[in-house]
Each structure stands twice: as structure tokens, then as C-alpha cells.
């Protein structure tokens, strides 16, 4: 999705906007639309040609209310516009599509497993995956950062789940198909067929993996799910399948798109790129700004379970409500100069990981990973430049970049430094 600075008074006809259209995020620009909506129609109703309808929420305060208030807004009828009014068979079974208290019973043990302490023993494995992602730059000065980034999550999250390396390429493609079924590069058949077939393939894949582990779950993340105590009981097979799918999807559609959007912003602002390289203390705030800036999960959806009012607008019970995170993260009432990429921004209360009960369970891991990748890139490369057109993913869910050719020049001694960093501690 393009990230632009709207004019003072963008020309937007609220009667004609279509936030459902995945093409808007590949070829168009939602930021002028969101700006006008925050000012004039912060809770906006859209009816699709087939009669389905949803409300759009664009302000930060309303976004937090919808995402956190499970007494008024449920996650169990579907959380993405791709599933608008078709129901969600994972409702009440997949953590992301479950309301409290069942949600907490699933989330708490998994959050501990994915915490910095829980992953401490895997730091070397994570670093190896990062170095593998950057390996193309050691033998060629022109490479596609988006392609390399898209392959990265399988090399770490896939590995700690115990997924065989031979399956990584196909699963990487499948997870993109699941969030961008309208993108012709990933489409297999038409969009509806793509979405249906890829879900069947992914669910079948994890069912087979779980079956193979039955009786003696190995020491990997799937094995952890199979044995974890979720409120006094273990997950059943359906719950295991849905949550394996959710973990892999979350990893594959978050970190790569934050990285590419952040690096694009830095390339377009050479002064910030130089400051990030020279001032290590800016790494943490820079990554937080990258998360706000990219907002890779473009929206989350809920259903109103009772009549409710947001920003003066009445929403009837049963209505679908889409929260646009990319808009909330540029709300002028919360963020000073929200269209400026500010690597030193303080008090950055972005919603890139969601809010409240459904705050991303892998947020700590994503932060650690992004800081490690960005630090390695800044240490290894003397220069980073665009070397071709940037192509955006055709998806109303993931604000992502699918191709970003860059040209990099290694710093003197970069190869030696990389070898030294790959060596085990104490070697």
C-alpha cells in the first residue's frame, strides 16, 4: 500500500469510496480517503454490490473501543473482510477468532512461549535466519528485498514450529494467497477458488503434521500447542489446526511488510537512514515508527453484538465493523505530524499489533526480529538504494510490498563481520 501525505483538503466523494476493493491498496491511495473520513465521517457505512455491508472505523479512540470491548464487539463471527457475512468456522476455536475468557486460556501459555525469555535459547537460530535473508547481498549488489523478506519467517517461525524445510516455499506462497487471493501473482484460479483451495491445503497440511506428532509431540512449537494447558484442558484437533494456521499466517504477513515499508521510508529519507546507522539508540524508536508507518495488518473486523454508538453514529446489533489500523495510526488527535516518518518519535502508541485482549501474541518476537534485521542491514551496508519500481500487494487486509528491488554496497570488512556473527558464542 502506498504511503503518502494527503493535501490539506483532499477531494474525496464519500458516497463513492470503496474500502473493500483490494485494488485500492495495490494501485490507489487510501490515505486521502481516511483523512477525510476521520474529519467528516469517522464511522462510515458501505454497502457492496451484492448487498453485504460493513461500517468503517477510522479514528484511534473508536478503534481501541472496537478492538477491546468484547461485550459489544465479538471476534467469533469473523475478523477479516475476506470473510464478511460468510461466517467463520474457526470462531471460538482459533485464538484470534475467540472472545474472553476462552481467548485468554489459549493466549496466556502461548504468550509465555513466545516471550523473550521463552525464546532466549533460540537467539542463535534467529540470527542465522536473519543472515540467511541477507545472504544475497554478499554475492550480488542488486536484489529484491521484498522477496527475501517474504522468505524469512519460514526460516525462523517455520523452523521453530518444526515444519520441514522442503515445505517452506509452498507454505510461504500459500499464506500470501490466503491474504491476497485477488493478486494475480498468487492467484490459482479466480479469487474465490484461490481462497477456498488454499485454506483447504493449509488446514490439511497442519492436520497431517499433528497426526504425525500424535503420541510423542516433539520439542517444537506445534508440539507445545499439542500439550499446552488451555484453561485446564488441551486443544482438540480442530483448535490445533486453526491455531497453527494463525501462527504461521501472523508471522508471514507481518515482519516482512514492516521491514520493506520501513526500509523504503529510510531510503526516501537519506538523513534518517544516516542517523539510524550512526546512532544505535534510535533503533528501538525507529522500529516502533516503522510499525506505525507500515501498519501491515490493514484492518481487523468485529461484529456488534448489541446496538452501540461510536463518534455519534448508531451501529445496529449484528453489523460488521472494520477497524482501519493504517488510519488510526495517523490520527492527528493522537500523533503529532502523523505523515512524517520520525525515527525519534516518542510516546508512539501505535496499533500495529492491535489493542487490548487481542494484542498480537507475537509482538515481542516481531520487535526483536525487526531490530535485529535492521541493525544487521545498517552495519553491513554502506549504502542502500532503490533499483526499480516498488510493487504493492493486492489485498484489503495486508498493507504490503511484494517486490522492492534494491542496490546495496557492502561496508569494508562486511563479509568477515558476518562470518564472525554467525559463529557460535565462545567459538
- Domain residues for 174? 23-422
What's the rounded Cα separation, in Å, for the pair 263 and 373? 11
Q: Residue 427: pLDDT band by 50, 70, 90 thresholds? A: very low
Nine-digit cell at 43?
464511522
For residue 423, is pLDDT > 60? no
10 within a domain of the structure (yes/no): no
Helix (H, G, I), strand (E, B) or coil at 424: coil
For residue 424, is pLDDT > 70? no
State pLDDT tens for residues 11-62: 899 999 999 999 999 999 999 999 999 999 999 999 999 999 999 999 999 9
15 within a domain of the structure (yes/no): no
Provide the mean pLDDT of the chain: 94
Q: What would you measure as the largest C-alpha separation in the chain, in angstroms?
A: 65
Which residues lie below 8 Å from residue 94, measured CB to CB, with a gap of 6+? 239, 242, 243, 245, 246
The pairing of beta strand 313-315 with beta strand 308-310 = antiparallel
4 within a domain of the structure (yes/no): no
CATH number at residue 195: 1.10.630.10
HSE value, Cβ hemisphere, 13 Å, CA-based, for 339: 11
Nine-digit cell at 373?
534485521
124 within a domain of the structure (yes/no): yes
What's the rounded Cα separation, in Å, for the pair 403 and 227? 39
Identify the residue whose cell numbers are 487510501.
Answer: 30
Q: State how far Cα 282 lies from the chain centre.
A: 22
16 within a domain of the structure (yes/no): no
> How many domains does the structure of the chain reveal?
1
Sheet hosting strand 320-324, strand order edge to edge: 43-47, 53-57, 320-324, 299-304, 73-74
Q: What pTM was computed for the model?
A: 0.95
Respond yes or no on whether the N-terminal peptide bond of residue 101 is cis (omega within 30° of 0).
yes
The pairing of beta strand 299-304 with beta strand 320-324 = antiparallel
DSSP state of 156: I
Average pLDDT over residues 312-324: 98
Which residues lie below 8 Å from residue 108, measured CB to CB, with a gap of 6+? none
Residue 324 confidence (pLDDT) = 98
What's the rounded Cα separation, in Å, for the pair 152 and 233? 33
Contact 70, 41 (CB under 8 A): no
1 within a domain of the structure (yes/no): no
Tell how many helices (H) and how many strands (E) occur in the chain.
17, 12
3 within a domain of the structure (yes/no): no
Residue 329 confidence (pLDDT) = 98
91 within a domain of the structure (yes/no): yes
Q: How many residues does the chain have?
A: 427
Closest CA to 148 of 415, 421, 413, 406: 406
State pLDDT tens for residues 174-228: 999 999 999 999 999 999 999 999 999 999 999 999 999 998 888 999 999 999 9
Closest CA to 260 of 409, 390, 126, 395: 390
Amino acid at each position: 500500500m502506498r504511503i503518502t501525505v494527503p493535501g490539506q483538503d483532499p477531494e474525496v466523494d464519500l458516497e463513492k469510496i470503496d474500502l473493500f476493493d483490494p485494488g485500492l491498496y495495490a494501485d490507489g491511495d487510501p490515505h486521502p480517503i481516511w483523512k477525510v473520513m476521520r474529519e467528516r465521517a469517522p464511522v462510515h457505512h458501505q454497502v457492496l454490490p451484492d448487498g453485504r455491508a460493513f461500517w468503517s472505523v477510522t479514528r484511534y479512540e473508536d478503534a481501541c473501543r472496537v478492538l477491546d470491548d468484547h461485550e459489544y464487539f465479538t471476534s467469533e463471527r469473523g475478523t477479516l473482510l475476506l470473510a464478511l457475512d460468510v461466517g467463520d468456522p474457526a470462531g471460538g476455536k482459533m485464538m484470534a477468532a475467540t472472545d474472553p475468557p476462552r481467548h485468554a486460556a489459549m493466549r496466556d501459555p502461548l504468550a509465555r512461549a513466545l516471550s523473550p525469555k521463552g525464546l532466549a535459547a533460540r537467539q542463535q537460530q534467529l540470527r542465522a535466519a536473519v543472515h540467511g535473508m541477507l545472504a544475497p547481498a554478499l554475492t550480488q549488489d542488486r536484489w529484491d528485498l521484498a522477496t527475501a523478506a517474504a522468505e524469512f519467517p519460514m526460516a525462523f517461525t517455520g523452523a521453530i514450529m518444526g515444519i520441514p524445510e522442503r515445505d517452506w516455499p509452498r507454505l510461504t506462497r500459500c499464506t500470501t494467497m490466503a491474504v491476497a487471493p485477488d493478486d494475480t501473482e498468487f492467484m490459482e484460479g479466480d479469487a474465490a477458488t484461490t481462497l477456498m483451495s488454499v485454506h483447504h491445503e493449509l488446514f490439511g497440511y497442519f492436520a497431517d503434521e499433528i497426526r504425525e506428532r500424535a503420541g510423542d509431540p516433539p520439542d517444537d512449537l506445534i508440539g507445545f500447542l499439542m500439550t499446552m494447558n488451555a484453561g485446564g484442558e488441551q486443544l482438540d484437533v480442530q483448535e490445533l489446526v486453526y491455531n497453527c494456521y494463525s501462527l504461521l499466517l501472523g508471522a508471514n504477513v507481518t515482519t516482512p511488510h514492516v521491514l520493506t515499508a520501513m526500509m523504503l521510508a529510510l531510503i526516501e529519507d537519506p538523513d534518517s537512514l544516516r542517523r539510524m546507522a550512526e546512532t544505535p539508540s534510535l533503533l528501538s524508536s525507529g522500529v516502533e515508527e516503522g510499525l506505525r508507518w507500515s501498519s501491515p495488518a490493514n484492518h481487523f473486523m468485529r461484529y456488534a453484538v448489541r446496538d452501540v454508538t461510536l463518534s455519534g453514529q448508531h451501529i445496529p446489533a449484528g453489523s460488521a465493523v472494520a477497524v482501519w489500523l493504517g488510519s488510526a495510526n495517523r490520527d492527528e488527535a493522537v500523533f503529532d505530524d502523523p505523515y512524517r516518518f520520525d525515527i525519534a518519535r516518542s510516546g508512539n502508541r501505535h496499533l500495529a499489533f492491535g489493542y487490548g485482549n487481542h494484542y498480537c501474541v507475537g509482538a515481542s518476537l516481531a520487535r526483536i526480529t525487526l531490530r535485529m534485521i535492521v541493525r544487521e542491514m545498517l552495519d553491513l551496508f554502506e549504502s542502500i538504494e532503490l533499483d526499480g519500481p516498488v510493487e504493492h500487494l493486492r489485498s484489503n487486509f495486508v498493507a504490503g510490498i511484494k517486490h522492492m528491488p534494491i542496490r546495496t554496497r557492502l561496508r569494508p570488512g562486511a563479509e568477515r563481520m558476518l562470518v564472525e556473527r554467525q559463529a557460535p558464542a565462545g567459538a
